[in-house]
Amino acid sequence: MTFLAYLADRAMIIAGWLIGTALVVVTLAVSGANSLANALYALGLSVFVTAVALGVDYYRQRPYYAQLARQEDALMHPALHAKTREQHLVAKQLQRHNAALHTALANEHQLYTEQRDLSAALVHQMKSPLSVIELVANRELQAEPGNEAWQSITEEGRELTVALDNLLTSARLPGFGQDYHAERIYVGPFLRAAINEEKRRFIASGVYPNLQVSADLAVVSDPKWLRVIMKQLLGNAVKYSPAHQQATVFVGAKVHGEFTEITVRDEGIGIPAGDISRVFEQFFTGENGRLTRVSTGIGLTLAARIAAALEIELRIESAGPGMGTTATVVLPTPNLTQL
Amino acid sequence: MLHGPLIAIVEDDEKLRKELVAHLSRYEFRTYEATNFAALDEELTQASPDLILLDVTLPAFDGFYWCRQLRRTLTTPVMFVTARDGDMDQVMALEYGADDFISKPVHPDLLLARIRSLLRRTSGEYAAGAETELAPGVTWNARKMQLRAGNHSVDLTKNENLLVSLFLQANGAVIRREQLLDALWDDAVFVDDNTLSVNINRLRKRLAEVGLPNIVHTVRGVGYRFGEQQ
């Protein structure tokens, strides 16, 4: 707050005082008790003393105004530079308000943490029954290979596993800041491992991977979270490819100057033009969601959230229904100094 | 196989334990259920298994604790079965002396493969170069990757050798294509349906060379079976 603004805030007082003093001076001049010069002199003195008093008062309160003008944390300690009774009163109210907000936030955070831990614990708890389901289905399939009911239970079990993994991933997302470590990743071995991790899904769907990467390619990112993104992209590529028709998922990487693009291209059902801009929206399943029953509208949302946190670009492109889909992850290429 | 490796199963979820027993018993394994969760070290020392499957979350003490206790006296290979998949848990498992870990939900084929590979690593199953008889006068040597009929021997590729081993383990039962693909899928080479068909046909040729032309049977839409013509 400038001195001018300070004065403007006190315009009424100053005006009242000026008018009052002027009336005194006029009364004195009219009554003729003194000369006009004397009256003006008295006015001048009064103005001077008042101006000094206002200056001192402004100077005294300047730290408080400076605090108010700060961009951040202006009201963190509202009583710190408070001088007047009014300022102290406001400070007290602010402190009370801050405390209430703080408590509410802490409660919210605790609730959230409890809820998140509970979800994680429940997911872990669900894994034993899921193991039993897989083992039973496997036993029955062994006794009667080709039995469709058990085959289908096995497949549903796998879907459940994927969903539970997504739930765990989403529960871990918020702690991201501390959990993020960029390092040099060699793309070939990295993608090979990512594909191997999805081996069962590839085999179960009769869809096969084709990996084309030059041996020395590297990128800089967080390997753990990039792996989660790749898992989603590979999972989608398998999910939307025609099952047991020798379909291929092409995985590759190419350098474009400072950036390296990793692509996952499938020969599957593709995405209608009208849906493509919305694929990252939570719970959006679009036309493909109506055609197949495997869309959840969660996987790509998770991938996009991770990509945003890693500050990398994630693109989904498709020439349209039946034309396959290409997912691209754009990552920084390590420069020579980043060895 | 009455004298297969003895696998001790430490799992407090009874249903899962019974299923693991049922699953492993169908192959070359014998099983032992350890349920004295207050004194697992004593119980396991007495049972003296060839491998211990150890759940992490147990009543009283957790699997990490027991693994450390066991390691004081036993060198038996320990494989953790854990619902948690955090890196930290895996590091802890290995630090406490486990040899391997597998995460829940336990995939049946993966479990078999991991147990077999751990046993091979620790006890050297194939080290002796033992020969298995496929048919009267025809033997298979897993380590040499060779079929032999009298003086005539036929070399097998790695995949062909693996297929023979899988067929023998199945004990005449049908093996689904998926299971075979799963086993053939190498970390370095991805396989597809064609690769499997090619490998099966090549194996049939090798077997024909030692006088077993019709031992691998196709079960349409399901997989393959090893054995006499039905």
Q: Decide if A246 and B173 are in contact by the 8 Å CB cutoff.
A: no
State how far the alpha carbon of A267 is from the alpha carbons of A77, A233, A251, A320, B182, in Å: 61, 14, 12, 11, 23
Q: Chain-wide mean pLDDT for chain A?
A: 87
What tens digit of pLDDT does each residue of B9-56 get? 999 999 999 999 999 998 889 999 999 999 999 999 999 899 999 998
- Does residue B230 have a pLDDT over 50? no
* Partner residue opposite B84 with nearest CB, options A124, A129, A246: A124
ipTM: 0.70
Provide the pLDDT for residue A328: 97
- In chain A, pLDDT over 90 holds for what percent of residues? 39
Provide the pLDDT for residue B85: 66
Provide the pLDDT for residue B1: 43
For strand A325-332 and strand B6-10, is the pairing parallel, antiparallel, or unpaired? unpaired
Identify whether the C-beta of residue A190 lies closer than 8 Å to the C-beta of residue A229.
no
As a whole number, mean pLDDT of residues A82-88 equals: 88
Q: Chain-wide mean pLDDT for chain B?
A: 85
Task: Answer whether A195 touches B (CB < 8 Å).
Answer: yes
Task: Answer whether A246 touches B (CB < 8 Å).
Answer: yes
Task: Answer whether A204 touches B (CB < 8 Å).
Answer: yes
Q: Decide if A142 and B15 are in contact by the 8 Å CB cutoff.
A: no
CA B180, CA B160: separation in Å to the nearest integer?
11
As a whole number, mean pLDDT of residues B217-224 equals: 89
Provide the pLDDT for residue A186: 92
Task: Answer whether B62 touches A (CB < 8 Å).
Answer: no
The dihedral built from the CA positions of residue B183, B187, B189 and B191, taken in this order, carries a sign that is positive
Task: Answer whether B182 touches A (CB < 8 Å).
Answer: yes
Chain B residues in contact with A139 (beta carbon < 8 A): 19, 22-23, 26, 108
* Partner residue opposite B108 with nearest CB, options A128, A135, A203: A135
What tens digit of pLDDT does each residue of A129-165 get? 888 998 899 888 888 887 889 988 988 888 888 888 8
What tens digit of pLDDT does each residue of A31-71 get? 766 677 777 888 888 889 989 999 999 999 998 888 888 87
* Partner residue opposite A203 with nearest CB, options B19, B87, B178: B178
pLDDT band for position A101 (50/70/90)? very high
- In degrees, rounded to 5, the angle at the alpha carbon of residue B76 between the alpha carbons of residues B73 and B81 is 115
As a whole number, mean pLDDT of residues B94-105 equals: 83
Task: Answer whether A222 touches B (CB < 8 Å).
Answer: no
Which DSSP letter does residue A221 get?
Answer: E
Closest to A205 in 3D by CA, of B110, B166, B181, B220:
B181
* Partner residue opposite A145 with nearest CB, options B16, B104, B222: B222
Task: Answer whether B174 touches A (CB < 8 Å).
Answer: yes
- In chain A, pLDDT over 70 holds for what percent of residues? 96
- Does residue B171 have a pLDDT over 50? yes
What tens digit of pLDDT does each residue of A227-260 get? 999 999 999 999 999 988 889 999 999 998 889 9
Identify whether the C-beta of residue B28 lies closer than 8 Å to the C-beta of residue B5.
yes
Provide the pLDDT for residue B3: 67
- In degrees, rounded to 5, the angle at the alpha carbon of residue B190 between the alpha carbons of residues B187 and B194 is 145
